[in-house]
Chains A and B, each alone.
Chain A
Amino acid sequence: ETGVTQSPTHLIKTRGQQVTLRCSSQSGHNTVSWYQQALGQGPQFIFQYYREEENGRGNFPPRFSGLQFPNYSSELNVNALELDDSALYLCASRFDTVTDTQYFGPGTRLTVL
């Protein structure tokens, strides 16, 4: 157990809809990153939040957005869902942006029909 939780566990949406995924960081961690893992692939970096500000982003379109709250919990929002958005979404927390080890949550499995 890493102390990082995610909700929901599974989610089914239809193309064009919007979705919000949630992540609760490990206690004391002020940095959270989100990753997308397509079936059979390695995770790909979406973005990172540090003290409620986005401070790094991967190659994902603007319809992927996020929030980090004062208690360091986080949300990933995806608008205008596409079939290719079907994936496991992982969040990872760490003490700060220069800490090497990240602690991953169990993930949310999103299926877009």
Chain B
Amino acid sequence: SQQGEEDPQALSIQEGENATMNCSYKTSINNLQWYRQNSGRGLVHLILIRSNEREKHSGRLRVTLDTSKKSSSLLITASRAADTASYFCATVITGANNLFFGTGTRLTVIP
């Protein structure tokens, strides 16, 4: 079964707007990662946040982590048409070293 659940399942915004995606998970984690997938192809690693971190930035990306609520959010600022893709959160749970993926959010950025 999936470790995480993303919300919303689909998101459509205008270019230049911000996009926020949320992820919830079930068990204690070592870290949480966000990946992007274009058109059902390979996954691209975007950003990693460790369980002792609360916020992290990378370019136009901002990730937050709330371990008390077992949730994370990914914010993409000033979105571009090229950001159109599916976004997945993936957790590395305590005691394991493989990734548990969520169900994904399909983001469409309209030019």
Using an 8 Å CB-CB cutoff, how does the interface string of B94-105 with A read, 1 for contact, 0 for none? 001111111110
Interface check B58, CB cutoff 8 A:
no
* CB neighbours of A2 from chain B (8 A): 42, 44
Which of B44, B96, B103 contacts A104 (CB under 8 A)?
B44
Whether the pair B96, A102 counts as a contact (CB closer than 8 A) is no
**Does B92 make an interface contact (CB < 8 A)?**
yes
Among B31, B96, B99, the most chain A Cβ lie within 10 Å of the Cβ of: B99
Interface size class of A (residues with CB under 8 A): 20 to 34
Residues from chain A with Cβ under 8 Å of B104 in the complex: 41-42
A100 touches B92 (CB 8 A): yes
Is residue A58 within 8 Å, beta carbon to beta carbon, of the partner chain?
Answer: yes
Q: How far is the CB of B111 from chain A (nearest CB, A)?
A: 25
Shortest beta-carbon distance, A63 to chain B, in Å?
20
Instruction: Tell me which residues across on chain A come within 8 A of B31, comparing CB atoms.
Output: 100
Which of B4, B43, B90, B103 is most buried by chain A, counting CB atoms within 10 A of its CB? B43
Determine if B60 is an interface residue (Cβ-Cβ < 8 Å).
no
Q: Are A104 and B97 in contact (CB under 8 A)?
A: no
- A98 proximal to B (CB < 8 A): yes
- Give bound CA distance, A4 to B43, whole Å: 11
Task: Select B101's contact among A4, A44, A107, beta carbons within 8 Å.
Answer: A44
Report the count of interface residues on B (CB-CB < 8 A).
24
A38-61, CB under 8 A of B: which get 1 and which 0? Answer: 010111110010000000101000
Tell me the chain B residues, 35-52 only, with Cβ under 8 Å from chain A. Answer: 35, 40-45, 48
Q: Looking at the complex, which one of A97, A98, A106 makes contact with B42 (CB distance below 8 Å)?
A: A106
Which residues of A (67-102) have their CB < 8 Å from a CB of B? 88, 90, 92, 97-98, 100-102
Q: Are A42 and B41 in contact (CB under 8 A)?
A: no
Query: Judging by beta carbons under 8 Å apart, are B45 and A103 in contact?
Result: yes
A interface residues, Cβ below 8 angstroms from B: 2, 4, 33, 35, 37, 39, 41-45, 48, 56, 58, 88, 90, 92, 97-98, 100-107, 109
